[in-house]
Each structure stands twice: as C-alpha cells, then as structure tokens.
Chain A
Amino acid sequence: MAHQLIAYAIFLPLAGFIINGLFGKKLKSETIIGLIGSSTVGIAFLIAAMIFFEMVSTPVQDRTRIVHLFDWIVAGGLSVGFAYQLDQLSVIMMLVVTGVGTLIHIYSVGYMHGDPGFARFFAYLNLFIFAMLNLIMADNFLLLFLGWEGVGLCSYLLIGFWYDRKFEKGTTGDAAKKAFIVNRIGDFGFLIGMFLIVETFGSLNFGTVFAQASTLQVGTPVLFWMTLALFLGATGKSAQIPLFVWLPDAMAGPTPVSALIHAATMVTAGVYMVARCSILFALAPATMEIIAVVGATTALFAASIGLVQNDIKKVLAYSTISQLGYMFLALGAGAFSAGLFHVVTHAFFKALLFLGSGAVIHAMHDEQDIQNMGGLKSHLPITYKTFLIGTIAIAGIPPLAGFFSKDEILWKAFSGGHVVLWLMGLLGAGLTAFYMFRLFFLTFAGNPRWRGDQHPHEAPLTMTIPLMALAALSIIGGFVGIPPSLGGGNAIEHWLEPVFEKANETMVSHGSEVEFLEYVLMILSVAVAAFGIYIAVIWYTQKKEIPERLAQQRPKWYKLLLNKYYVDELYDAALVTPTVKGSDKLLWKGVDVGVIDWCVNALPRGIAGISKSIRLVQTGIAQTYVLVFVVGVVAIIGWLLTQ
C-alpha cells in the first residue's frame, strides 16, 4: 500500500537535513553529501510516483486518504495532528516538488562544487523539501502553516547562504531578512484567517471545515474576511502586489535556490493554498474578484519591470512574479485547475530557465549582467538549446508547455467575463515574449561583450542532465492539459475535477463558452507572443540602436521601470523609517526613559527631598529645641485659652 509510505517520503528529507547538518563537515566528501541530499528527495519522488499510480488504479470516490501519524496540539476544542491528506491535488504537487526537487539537488552537486558550505547547502535544501511536503500534504491548516513558515525559514537561510557577501546596495543578509519579514506580514493574514476558521467551523481540519463551508450561503460576510486574510498570506508567499518586494532580492541566494524555491515550488504555495480552499473562496465572490484583479495587475506590472532589467536573474525573478500573477488571475476567475496547470508547467520551464542562467553565471564566473554577456551560444551549446526551449515555452508558443496553460488561463478569464483582466493578461503575454527573448538574445546571440580572459565553458553533466530533463518536460508538459477544442482531453482538469467539484458547483458561470471564440483568442494570444518575439529579434539582433534611443528619449519612463516603480523606496519612507525612528525616539527614549522611569525615579527623589527638609529641623542645637518647645507650649496654652 503505497500511501502508507508517505511518512517516509516526508521524513526522509528531514533525516537528510539532520545528517548533513550535523555531520556534513565530518563527511568531507562532496559525493557522499550530495548523494545523501539527492537520494532522500529521489526516494520521496519514487514514493510519490507509487502513490500516484495507486491512486490512478483506485476508483475516483476512494482516492482521498488521510494518514494520521500523531497528535500535535490538542487544547480546548482544538485538535490538530501530524496528518497527511493524499488526494488528486496533493499528489500532483508532490510529484512536481519531489521531481523538480530531485533534478535541482543533482544540479546543485555540480553548481556548489568547492563551496565551503556545501554540506550546509544540502542540509537546507533537504529541510526545504521536508517543509514543502508538509505544506502540500497536510490535512489541516495548522500543519500547512508549519510547512508554510518552514519553507519561509529555508528561503531565509538560503537567500542569506553567502552571509558575508554584498548584494546590490546592501548585503545578502538584508535580502534574507526582507524576505522573512515580508512573508511574516502575509503570515499575519494567514493566522487571522485560521482564527476565523476556528471560530466559524470549530476546527482546522480540511475535511471538517470544507464540509461545513459548503452548507453556508454564498457571500456570507465572515467568509469574505476569512478568505481575504488567507489571500493576504498568499500575496506574501507568492509575491503578489503589495508584498512582492522580497522576491527580486531573494536572487541573492545561490541560483539552484532561485530555481527550486523562488520559482518552481515555494512561491506557488499561495496558489496551492487558495486552490486547496477552493470551496471557501468560491463562496466569497468579492474575494475572488480581488484575487483576479491583483493577479492580472501583478502579471502586467512585473512584466513591465522585466522589460528593462539587466541582471539575468532579476529578469527571471520579475518574470516569476508575473507568471504567478497569471496563476492568481486563473484562481480569481474560478479556473482552479487552470491555475494549478500553470503551476506545473511553470515549475518545468522556470526551473529550466533559472538552472540555465545558473550554468551561464557559472561559466561567466559569477557575472550576472547581461550587458556583459553575448555570444555564448557556441560556448555553452547545451545550455543554449535548453534555455531556448524554456524561453519559447514561457513565451507561449505552441506546442510547448507554457502555451497550453497560459492560454487556458486567458480563455477562462475572458469566458468568465473578466474582459479587462483578460486584456491585461494578453498584453502581459506580449511583454513576456519580448523580455524573455531580449534576455535570450543578449545572453547567447551576437558578439561577446565579456573580457578576453574569461573562458566560458559548458557545465558538467550533473548540471546539464537536469537541464535536458527539464527541457523535455517543458516541451511535453503541456500535453496533460490540451483543451477539447484542440482535440485533447484536458487530462489534468479531469484528474482534479473531484477536488474542485464543490467549488465549481457553487460558482455560477456567466460567460460564453463559444468554441469559435476560443479559437480566435488562441490565435490572438499566439499572435501577440509572436509580435513580442519579433520586436525582440529586430531590436536585439538587427537594429540594436532602437532600445538605447528609446531609453534616451523617455528617460523618466525608463528610470521608473529600471527602479521598479520605486516601490522599495516608498515602503522604506512610509513604513520602515518611521517605525524605527518612532520606536527609538518616541517610545524608548520618550515614553520608557522620559516618562515612566522619570516617574519611578521621582518617587524616591521626592521622598529624599521631603526627608531632607524634615532633617533641617533636627539641628542638634539645644537652644533651638528649647525655643521651639517654648513656642509650642505658648501656642498650645494660647489655643486652650481661646477655646
């Protein structure tokens, strides 16, 4: 019974973390460390595959299973355990996380070769897999939250992995801290969401909560606040407006980390979470509207920043934010399985692109500025080819993976009546095709712009094999979701149908499902992508003066994009600086020292003052005492007489 192996799949990576974390330095051999790190995830993948096949051979109504290991927190009416839910949704996520995870672990053996923190790196990666598996397999919100914060921790540790290095204006430590704290702001929302869930449903277990939720009315106010709070959590983890600011900085970490955590898996956790709670969100149409708007806006906004960035990883980072925006657009439009489909395909091609960029950075000896690249095509043939596949896939050119999933999202947005959002998505798709090919041409095509003493060379097999595997997946990955209009069966949608059944029943479809329109839109989106590519070809291979001239003619616009709309600066000025200054000057030196302690010290001072004045009476001079005595006696007699 494969499902009983789930505990091994989840806890083996934890064992890998402990072994490499405690004894890694003593092991010394990179091969052994890498083997431990990769094999634990590899075994988890095998178990995931076994569970998947077991599930396929099980009748649909029996596919969901709960494996309860032990109680975690029991207090009052609350009872949650380390319990895992195996169903169509979690098994897909598990396959992606462990599958892509294994490839990236293998890649890291080559990429991190010779790094003094080799063992630490693999320990953190394994810990990440453990946390991520808890996130996606949990059968309750609290365990999901354990994974949720756990992946955030690993992200923090890995962004700051090279903790003594500079990064942009600050250090890697700044980037790591920013990631954790911004995520914590999201987690605040997640916590509030959980409290509302307990208050409303009396439980945190998915089964209980969702079963009760489906008895509620659409638009119940508490559901709006609940889902909005949860969505705030999602904007943190999945880098959406307004909490996206940490992800570009997260590129301070080693490139395999960017691929695994900040592209393929962790950042999609928000999408997963919303999909998992589909019934709650479906019952809160106002939240769904917000999600769709935030998603489409983020998709377009981040794509526009990506147009002008010159750091190879930065471009990919903004592209990730943008692609995550598409996923949320899908969720907001009620197309949960389309969103999940894009999670899967994006994991393939974005991991590929990041790993490819890693191979480039590796070859260029830590150079990341594409202005100093060019002409790498002949030096890195495998990287070049696989990167091209990834670029075509993300641009949305059929029949590669990105086309099917992105097109599904755009179609669902349009047919769901979100025409404006659809238009934004379409425009974003054009921009995506443009900036990705810009990146591709500047890196691989044209004449070399690097120094002569650099000798770029192709990466070792441990790195190229994962590239080739991911390239294959980026080509064929979309075939699991070919829509019926193109003669496919949309296998992934069918597979996920039981998970989203209740949510889909709740939502009233008010769009038009005209097949003719679907073809039109499909052709339109391919045309837009092709146009983006065409511009990139012209600008970056033939008339290279055009982009420079544009930047000079519109310096304000160019600066605005280059500086990412000054969002970081805005947050700093509006939030960070006032908080720090206010706490220092007003609270600490003002209230604490100035007011409270002044009062506390005033008390003994006052008492000392009173004693001081009383002490003056005790002069020790007998004449004074006699004088006072006589005056006193006279006064008393006088008082008695007047009575």
Chain B
Amino acid sequence: MKSEILSLLLIVPLVGAILCAMMNQESKLAIKSIGMVSSIVAFVLSVWLFITFDAKTSGMQFVEMHAWIPSLDVSYHVGVDGISLLLVVLTTFLTPIALLASWESIHMKLKGYVALMLLLEVGTLGVFISLDLFLFYVFWEFMLIPMYFIIGIWGGGERIYAAIKFFLYTMAGSLLMLVGILWLGYYASTQPSGFFTTDLLKLYKVAPGIPMGIQSWMFLAFALSFAIKVPLFPFHTWLPDAHVQAPTAGSVILAGVLLKMGTYGLIRFCLPLFPQATFTFMPYIAALAVVGIIYGALVSMVQPDIKKLVAYSSVSHLGFVVLGIFALNEEGMQGSVIQMINHGLSTGALFLLVGMIYDRRHTRLIKDYGGLASQLPVYATFFMIVMLSSAGLPGLNGFVGEFLILLGSFKSVSLGSHFYALFAATGVILSAVYLLWSYQRVFFGKLDNPENQKLVDLSLREWAVLVPVVVFIIWIGFYPQTFLEKSALSSKQVLEQIDQARKIQMAGTGTEAAAHAARRAE
C-alpha cells in the first residue's frame, strides 16, 4: 500500500465523483453520503500518509512512477515532501468540511455539485503531488473546470462575470507557463547526452544552467502564472469577485486550497528551477508582497460586504506567505509553509461562518447586522476565535506563521534590508483594525434590526463543521511543532537546492553570473 497511497488518494474522490454522477438526481441523501464518505476516506488516507511520512529525510517520499508518453519522457510521476504533505492534508481536511457546510444550502443540481467538488479535490491533490511538469500542468488546468462551474452555476447574482473573470485570469497566466514547460523540455534535450523531458527531478539538475537572459523569461512565465493564483498585488482583482459570487463551499476551497497552489508553485518550481533569476526578481516580488499586505488590509477595512472583506484580507495574508518565501531563509520558508496551512484554516473558517449567517439572512452587508452577540452567542464565540486567529493572536495558529515570516524577512541576508519586514509588520496593526471593526459592527451594539431578532444559533451540523477547524487553530497555536517538524527538512532542502544551483551556475556560465553576483554583493 505504501507506494500506491498517493494514487489511491486521487482515485478515491474520483470514484466518488463518478458514483455521484451515476446516481439519480432525486436520491439526495445518497449523493451527499457518497460525497462525505469518499472525502472522509481520502482524509483518513492522508492522515495515514502524514503519520508514516518520515520527517528525517528530505527527499520525495511515497514516489510512484509510470511511463505516459515515453517518447517525450512524460510520465505519471508523483510523490510528496514535507511541504506538499501538509498541503495534501489541508486539502483532504477542508473538502469534507466544505461539503458538510453546504449540506443544506445546495438544492439545485445536487449531484453535479458534489461530483464537481470531488473532482476539484482530485485536481488540487494532483497539483500538490505531481513531480512531472506536464502532469502538473494537466492537473493545474483540470482544476479550473470544476471551479468554473461551481462559481458559474451555484454562485450569486453576478456569477457568470466572476466565473469568466476567474477563468480568463488564470488561463492567461498558465498559457505562458505551458510555453515555459515545453521550452524547459526542449532545453533539456539540447544538453550533452540530453533528451526531451518534463520530469521535475531531472529538470532540477539541468534547468539552473539556463543562461541568465532566458532564465529571466522562464522565471517570469512561471511566476506570472503563480502570482495570479496567489494572488499577488496587482493581479488580485479576480479574487474578490470570485469569492463573493462563489457558494460557501467554493469560497472555502478557493481560499483554503486553490490560492496555495500559487505559493506552492513558487516554492516547488520557480525557486529551484531558476535560482539565479529568483535572486534577480526577489526584491521586486518581495516589494509587491509587502504592498499586497498593506493594500489588501486597507481595502479590506472599507468593504461594506463582509465576504469581500474576507476576500481582500486574503490578499494581505498571502502577501505574508510570498514575502516569507522570498526571504530565502529557514525561518521565512517554514513560516510561509505553516502560514499556508493557517490561512487555509482561518480564512476557510471565516468563509464558513459568513456562509452560515448568509444562509439565515441572505445578506452579506455589514450594515444589516449589529448586536448579534446576544442573539447568537455560540456563533459569536466561534467567529471571535477565528477572527483572532486571522489577526495573528499568539496562542492561535496565525501568529506562528506571521512571526516566522516577519522574522525571516527581517534578518534575511538575501533581501538585505529591514524595510520589507518593517512595512509588512504594519499588517499586524491593520489586520486588527479591519477584523475588530467589522466584528464590532456585526456583533456588538444593540440588536435593533427585527430581522436579526429571529435568528437561531448554530445547529449540530454547524458545530460539527467548525469544531475541527478550531481544534487545529488552537493546536497549531500552542504546538506547531507537529507540523513544523514535518516540513523542516524539506524547506531546508529547497533553500539548499537554490544555493547549490547558484554555485553551479556561477562556476558554469562564468563571467555573466559572476559579474552579476559581484554586483549584488556590492
């Protein structure tokens, strides 16, 4: 079982999706049950994966490889390291929760909905475990389709605009990436005794040797695609529309998992494949990340729509993740990895909570609420915990990531300036502002809107949705080591890869790289 577990992880939700599609549209309970069971089985598998993962080695584990297009050396090659492991667990954790959250809110075309949610899981898992660029690209594009339909069919009033915007934005980036992948394969074939390949581990060895001029273009082709996905300022405007229009479960997966594909892509592909270009573009990307942190927080602060507020807060939070990655040290990288998980949990939970109140009141406008704390004490408590986690309160998960990222970027030799961290740290103040202000307007004060006086507090199902998330929010806050341990060596490995690759390149391409390094050193 050990070697096939990753394939099994893909097959389980896939089979679930096929079963759903074959069901009668009317047997709703059966459809929902298939969805829940297959996603929970996938979660259990990933927990087993997590437990048996050996944190003492930094290489890929649970590797599986089958030839696919042998003439181009394209293969079904999957495996996980500590970084992808955590994201796999996050994906399988959030999928059943998202399904349970939409248990009662989806009535139309239920089987299509459940099937698409499961296909979405297949796509995202595939992205995180692919070790072949072609395979990765297939999953990357594949995942767009279920998401497009989930927004476009079960979304809000302007769902079509949002779905198309989401689709086109992402496509625009990924087409460039496809060109990049093909060029990489071609480049491999031009090497002495080389051949065309899309295998990531093989490309790791040759790609860093690409001459600087072309490497920059390659880096940009990949980075743009990932930056749109993250989303990095100023490529973020698809996000608020997509989030606001998507149904709750869609927003949860979108924020919780899909955005991480961008930051994961940076770590897995951009940095180790194009180390020299990474150093060239690092200050610009880090600056955009810092702008995103502050800008996202400020724009979030003035949103009248609470879902949009959470959406913009994602721009701010993901800015932290990108900053941590480009700090290029262990603190920053580890902080970014754990922050990806944290954002998945806390922003996912915020969307869950917003969805719960939307199901009851069918409005997302903050001004329609006020004084809910007295009517919905349990709901208010959950919201408070999640909000504080999002605001980075020590003792809850968000702090661990934010602190490590800020520390990493502060002391980063590569960034070479304290100002990135100094400006980014103002995000700590701003996140408290937009979160506390919106919380106050929704929950505090008098309960004077008669519509709100009829609201009922959380149901048992909603408890079941929120409790697991809150458990992890507190767990990571007090004992993040459970997770940090798993990714420690892999994070280090990525950094060493960059370091070594740079050394090889400096020795290899000689004058240009050396001159560049000298310029940097000055």
Given known A164-B445, A164-B447, A580-B302, contact A73–B484 (CB-CB < 8 A): yes
A195 touching B406, Cβ below 8 Å = yes
Judge if B310 is at the interface, Cβ distance under 8 Å.
no
Q: Is B433 an interface residue (CB 8 A)?
A: yes
- B393 near A149 with CB under 8 A, answer yes
B-side interface mostly: helix
Asked whether B334 lies within 8 Å of A185 as measured between CB atoms, the reply is: no
The contact string, 1 if C-beta is below 8 Å from chain A, for chain B 394-430, is: 1100011001101110110000001001100110110
Within 8 A of B (CB), among A236-265: none
**CB of B449 within 8 Å of the partner chain:** no
* Shortest distance between the CB of B427 and any CB in chain A (Å): 9
A174 at the interface (CB under 8 A from B): yes
* Contact, CB under 8 Å: B445 / A185: no
Of B303, B403, B443, B488, most buried by chain A (CB within 10 Å of CB) is B403
A580 touches B301 (CB 8 A): yes
A199 to B411, CA, bound (A): 6
The 9 A-B residue pairs whose C-beta atoms are closest, nearest first, are A76-B330, A173-B444, A146-B394, A583-B298, A584-B302, A195-B410, A75-B334, A163-B444, A173-B440
Contact status of A184 and B429, CB under 8 A, knowing A73-B403, A600-B169: yes
Closest to B371 in A: A164
Say yes or no for A502: interface residue by CB 8 A criterion.
no
8 residue pairs A–B, Cβ–Cβ below 8 Å: A73-B481, A73-B484, A75-B330, A75-B484, A164-B447, A184-B429, A191-B403, A198-B411
Taking the nearest CB of chain A, how far is it from the CB of B498, in angstroms? 15
Contact of A191 among B395, B411, B425 (CB under 8 A): B425
Assess the A78–B407 pair: CB atoms within 8 A: yes
> B residues within 8 A CB of A181?
429, 432-433, 436
Given contacts A192-B422, A588-B302, A604-B168, A172 and B406 within 8 Å (CB-CB): no
Is there contact, CB below 8 Å, between B302 and A72?
no
Asked whether, in the complex, the Cβ of A188 is within 8 Å of the Cβ of B421, the reply is no
Q: Which positions 574-602 of chain A face chain B at CB distance < 8 Å?
A: 579-580, 582-584, 587-588, 591-592, 596-597, 600
Are the CB atoms of A191 and B331 closer together than 8 Å? Answer: no
Q: Chain A residue with minimal CB distance to B481?
A: A71
- Among A180, A185, A198, A597, the residue within 8 A (CB) of B407 is A198
Minimal beta-carbon separation of A68 from chain B (angstroms): 14
Tell me the A84-115 residues at the B interface (CB within 8 Å).
none
Mask, A208-232, CB within 8 Å of B = 1, is 0000000000000000000000000
Contact A73 B400, CB 8 Å, known A173-B445, A587-B298, A600-B237: yes
B48 at the interface (CB under 8 A from A): no
B interface size (C-beta, 8 A):
57
CB of A82 to closest CB in B, whole Å: 8
Q: Range of interface residues on chain A?
A: 35 or more
Beta-carbon nearest neighbor of B234 in chain A: A596
Contacts of B425 in A (CB 8 A): 188, 191-192
Nearest CB of chain B from residue A297's CB, rounded to whole Å: 24
Instruction: Please determine whether B299 and A583 come into contact, CB atoms closer than 8 angstroms.
Output: yes
Is there a chain B Cβ closer than 8 Å to A334's Cβ?
no
Instruction: Tell me the bound Cα distance from A168 to B445 in angstroms.
Output: 14
In the complex the two chains form, what is the Cα distance from A71 to B429 in whole Å?
A: 27
Q: Mark each residue of chain A from 390 to 426: 1 if its CB lies under 8 Å from any CB of chain B, else 0.
A: 0000000000000000000000000000000000000
A471: interface (CB < 8 Å) = no
Q: How far is the CB of A427 from chain B (nearest CB, A)?
A: 35
A142 part of interface (Cβ distance < 8 Å): yes
Q: Mark B353-382, 1 if CB is under 8 A from A, else 0.
A: 000000000000000000101100000000
Interface check B125, CB cutoff 8 A = no
Residues of B within 8 A of A163 (CB): 371, 373-374, 443-445
A70 to B478 Cα, complex, angstroms: 10
Chain A window 170-206, contacts with chain B (Cβ cutoff 8 Å), 1 for yes, 0 for no: 0111101100110011011001101100110000000
Q: At the interface, yes or no: A627 with Cβ under 8 Å from chain B?
A: no
A150 within 8 A of partner (CB): yes
Assess the A579–B298 pair: CB atoms within 8 A. Answer: yes
Is there a chain B Cβ closer than 8 Å to A153's Cβ? yes
A42 within 8 A of B: no
Max chain A Cβ within 10 angstroms of own Cβ: one of B429, B446, B479: B429
Chain B residue nearest to A76 in the complex (CB)? B330
A188-B421 Cα distance, complex, nearest whole Å: 11
| Interface contact B479-A72, CB-CB below 8 Å | yes
Encoded as 1 (CB less than 8 Å from any A CB) or 0, chain B from 93 to 128 comes to 000000000000000000000000000000000000
